[in-house]
Amino acid sequence: MSTTITATTSRTSTQVAVADLFYSFQGEGANLGRRALFVRLLRCNLTCGYPGMPRTADAAAVGAMVCDTEYTWNTAKHDLQAAPAMSAAEIWDDLVRLDPATGNPGLAPVDLIVVSGGEPLLHRGIVTDLARRASASGKALEIETNATMAPSAALIAAGARFNAGLKLASSAVPYGKRIKPQVITQLQASGQARWKFVVTGPDDVREIADLQQEFGLTEVWLSPEGASVDVVISRMRWLADVALTHGWNLTTRQHVLIWGDERGR
């Protein structure tokens, strides 16, 4: 279930461009299969699949791990200006309307909010406001982040959880852009981060093991790269033994298994 988003003409520091608002299941990680209300924000500081921002719409991806939400940042392919500008209050009101329990009190309210992107921590003020509203409403809030931008103390204090997805060499993003030691250390020290890695092949596994050792990462999750059922299942089958051997967790991509790469699911 998704909500219709209409573009507005101006944006302020208290607004953010929103790509999608929808009701679905959390398709990955520790909350796999849990009902959630999603907000996907525009803009990202990384260019997964490419070493830099593509200059043309037909630019070929270089990396094996290609972003599956390029519509949130790739201006060569997508018109980001068409997205609406919304305040945290407006986003929250729409999320409440998306919760089926709002119209049917006989249903259990959705108690998980997922903020994704793009990179949500480019918009710390908006995200912190949403985290505080979630906490006050008795809901958990997860942030899908690439772990290159440090969360504020206020955001950590608001109880947000971080699904921290460090990007690997297979993303084609230069190391210095995708690995920020201070941010990784801060997220790990918060006790509120889970480390989720998108895996395309054996080289990724070796890099994950090195990163875990270097930064003392706990609660590591492997996620198979893939936008089709066949690819996701095939990668999960060989990743299962890898995860068990290394003491890591394994997640599928439930939304892909159910709906393919359909947007807003």
Is 234 annotated in a binding site? The answer is no
Residue 106 annotated as part of some ligand binding site: no
pLDDT at 26 over 90: yes
- Domains of the chain and CATH, by start: 15-197 (3.20.20.70)
pLDDT band at 29 (very low <50, low <70, confident <90, very high): very high
φ/ψ bin of 33: left (φ > 0), alpha (ψ from -120 to 50), beta (otherwise): left
For 224-234, what is each residue's pLDDT tens digit?
Answer: 999 999 999 99
44 marked as binding residue: yes
Query: How does residue 248 score in pLDDT terms, banded at 50, 70 and 90?
Result: very high
C-alpha 40/C-alpha 50 separation (Å) is: 21
- Place 245 in a pLDDT band, splitting at 50, 70 and 90: very high
At residue 8 the predicted structure's pLDDT band, cuts being 50, 70 and 90, is very low
**In the predicted model, what is the mean pLDDT of the chain?**
94
pLDDT on residue 261: 85
Q: 11 among the known binding-site residues?
A: no
| Amino acid 12: pLDDT | 52
Q: Is the pLDDT of residue 223 over 80?
A: yes
- Cα 161 from Cα 36, distance rounded (Å): 14
User: Binding residue per annotation — 29?
Assistant: no
Contact in structure between 119 and 145 (CB atoms under 8 Å): yes
Nearest partner of 20 among 125, 144, 133, judged by Cα? 144
* Residue 116 annotated as binding site: yes
Is 194 annotated as ligand-binding?
A: no
Q: Over 50: is that where the pLDDT of 107 sits?
A: yes
| pLDDT at residue 9, as a whole number | 35
Torsion sign over Cα 175, 216, 214, 208: negative
Q: What is the mean pLDDT of residues 119-140?
A: 98
Average pLDDT over residues 116-130: 97
- Asked whether 66 and 168 are in contact (CB, 8 A), the reply is no
pLDDT surpassing 80 at residue 10: no
Per-residue pLDDT, averaged over 186-202, amounts to 97
What is the C-alpha separation between 89 and 87, in angstroms, rounded? 5
Of residues 228, 227, 210, 219, the one with CA closest to residue 192: 219
Give me the mean pLDDT over the 88-112 stretch.
97
Question: Measuring CA to CA, which residue among 185, 184, 124 is closest to residue 157?
Answer: 124
pLDDT at 51: 96
On whether 2 is known to bind a ligand per the annotation, the reply is no
Query: Is residue 149 scored above 90 in pLDDT?
Result: yes
Handedness of CA 156, 146, 261, 92 (dihedral sign): positive
112-149 core/surface letters (b: 16 or more CB in 10 A; e: else): bbbbbbbbbbbbeebbbbbbbbbeeeebbbbbbbbbbe
- Distance CA(202)–CA(227), nearest Å, equals 19
Instruction: Supply the pLDDT for residue 145.
Output: 98
25 is in an annotated binding site: yes
Q: How confident is the model at residue 1 (pLDDT cuts 50, 70, 90)?
A: low
Task: Read off the pTM.
Answer: 0.93
Q: Is 67 annotated as belonging to a binding site?
A: yes
The strand pairing partners of 140, in sequence order, are 112
